[in-house]
Structure 1
Amino acid sequence: MAPLRIVIGRDEEGVAAQPEDSPTTKKPARPDSRVPLTRWEAAAAAAVFLIFSVGLFCIFLTMPEGDYDKILRLPRNLSDLRVLKDNLAIYARDYQAKFILGYCSIYIFMQTFMIPGTIFLSLLAGALFGVIKGVILVVFSATSGASSCYFLSKLIGRPLISWLWPEKLRFFQAEIAKRREKLLNYMLFLRITPSLPNTFINLASPIVDIPFRIFFLATLVGLIPASYVTVRAGLALGDLKSVRDLYDFKTLFVLFLIGFISIAPTILKRKRTYE
């Protein structure tokens, strides 16, 4: 018997979907709006989320007392981030070790469960800790969160990514198949450049059989250039008008240049093979 699949979503009229074998069921206009997870996959995802949430709550309990109404707010825009930075400056200075623990935990949690907003945390790292310490914090947190997302996707990711990005997944799988011999170079290129969203790479990598050691190393090294750009921008947070300003033409050119250098050995080897 085929596994029972949970359907999350509603049809265009906002009415909860009926069972497919019902004689009165109308065929939904947008079947792709539903998340295909089996009951066990949904339970596993909920269990992992609960474990992470409990861990985050336990870390919160160890934090020194403070004005939590002001410092425990995830920024939604640059204005919120500037206010948060001002509220956190003294707290981060007086309780640096515990603040860093809380910062990394929140970053990893958001990265694991694909919650938007980590770019604001990267800017915050630069504003509070400077370039060197900020880059170390961001790269460590982003790599840890991406690794957690990798293993979570290994558990339940195949139906999700096939639902979210079916064409992009097929393209990625074909590209990986062509570059098995120099897979690390190709993964470095993807991490350094904005060719594919990092969320997609985190989810798709275990599905297309990218070994974790290659995924981890490419993430650790490949995120450094973009992290440096974001963290450095955090030093001038007051002058930043939009998140889009982070990646202007000059910055993108440099990132792609670094990316092409990373895949140069693959290109040269292929050229020699054809010769």
Structure 2
Amino acid sequence: MAAPRSVVVETGSWGLDQDAESPSGKKLKPEKFPLSRWEFAAALGVFLVFSTGLLCIYLTMPAAEYEMLKLPRTLADLRLLKDHLVTYAQVNPAKFILGYCSTYIFMQTFMIPGTIFMSLLAGALFGVIKGLLLVVFNATAGASSCYFLSKLIGRPIVTWLWPEKLKFFQAEIAKRREKLLNYMLFLRVTPTLPNLFINLASPIVDIPFQIFFLATVIGLVPASYITVRAGLALGELKSVKDLYDFKTLAILFLIGSILLIPTILKRKRVYE
């Protein structure tokens, strides 16, 4: 999780009522669900394993903590959750970190929105250094888990949701095979492509896991630092959008451009 990225989901006509009609008067049929029964069963099995683990961790907490435990969707929710958990995190640091990490990785694996709030919470409860280490670890673990899940069942989903974006990504990767790490670092540092799409599409376009892993660990640091640091002033933050103003985005693109220099120089030498 990590920096927020906007994701445009192109689902076509999936979900339309079977009786819906086109402007020409012909009935429209909903698009076929992209997963086979085996793929859906595999995804459901992984989901149930994660969910069971989270439930076991949840049941170890005192009953008094249950009422306020919910995924924050707004900054107001996050402030209430932080105030509720601050004492528990200090008294039971190991249990809290286990629950926090499991929730973050679960959300990242199954593409559940809201990890930016988890990153802000880490900064608010643990400070910049510890919070940053915690966020980068969880974001990398969750992205890696999503990578392997996509390797198992991701191709039909990505092809179904983002066919044009996948073709573009595949073409860009093919042009940069020799300096692939630099390009992946650029994508991780900048909001050029959504992190969700990168996690799902990387195994499909044959990006080796070691490159994916290194780019994720290193590339998520700048944006994670910005988010975690903002968590220190959680009470003053008015909107999540304030985290990534024009100045911040310009800095991220500058860092990303520097990372691309080896790739640009390599291509220049080839054409000379």
The TM-score, its normalising length taken from structure 2, stands at: 0.90
For the pair 1:36 / 2:37, whether they are aligned, the reply is no
Deviation per CA, 1:128-148, whole angstroms, max 9, x where unpaired?
100000000000000000000
Structure-to-structure mapping, 1:200-219, within 5 angstroms:
200-219=197-216
For the pair 1:220 / 2:220, whether they are aligned, the reply is no
Which residue is equivalent to 1:230?
Answer: 227
Which residue is equivalent to 2:80?
Answer: 83
Which of residues 94, 109, 112 is equivalent to 1:112?
109
Structure-to-structure mapping, 1:193-272, within 5 angstroms:
193-272=190-269
CA apart distance, 1:13: 6.3
Cα distance between partner residues in 1 of 2:271 and 2:15: 53
The TM-score, its normalising length taken from structure 1, stands at: 0.89
Structure-to-structure mapping, 1:35-54, within 5 angstroms:
35-54=33-52
Which residue is equivalent to 1:27?
Answer: 28
Cα distance between partner residues in 2 of 1:147 and 1:64: 32
Which of residues 129, 136, 159 is equivalent to 2:156?
159
Cα distance between partner residues in 1 of 2:106 and 2:212: 19
Structure-to-structure mapping, 1:72-151, within 5 angstroms:
72-151=69-148
Deviation per CA, 1:194-245, whole angstroms, max 9, x where unpaired?
0000000000000000000000110011000000000000111111111110
Cα distance between partner residues in 2 of 1:243 and 1:11: 33
* Higher RCO by CA contacts (8 Å cutoff, separation 6 or greater): 2
Distance 1:114 1:14, change over 3 A: farther
- Residue type of the alignment partner of 1:211: P
Identity %: 74
Q: Which runs of 5+ in 2 are unaligned?
A: 1-12, 21-25
CA apart distance, 1:246: 0.4
The number of aligned residues is: 255
What is the CA RMSD across the aligned residues, in angstroms?
1.7
Cα distance between partner residues in 2 of 1:260 and 1:227: 18
CA apart distance, 1:36: 1.3
Task: Check the 8 A contact 2:127/2:232 in 1, yes or no.
Answer: yes
CA apart distance, 1:14: 7.7
- Residue type of the alignment partner of 1:40: W
Structure-to-structure mapping, 1:182-193, within 5 angstroms:
182-193=179-190
Cα distance between partner residues in 1 of 2:91 and 2:75: 24
Deviation per CA, 1:153-210, whole angstroms, max 9, x where unpaired?
0000000001111100000000000000000000000000000000000000000000
CA apart distance, 1:65: 4.8
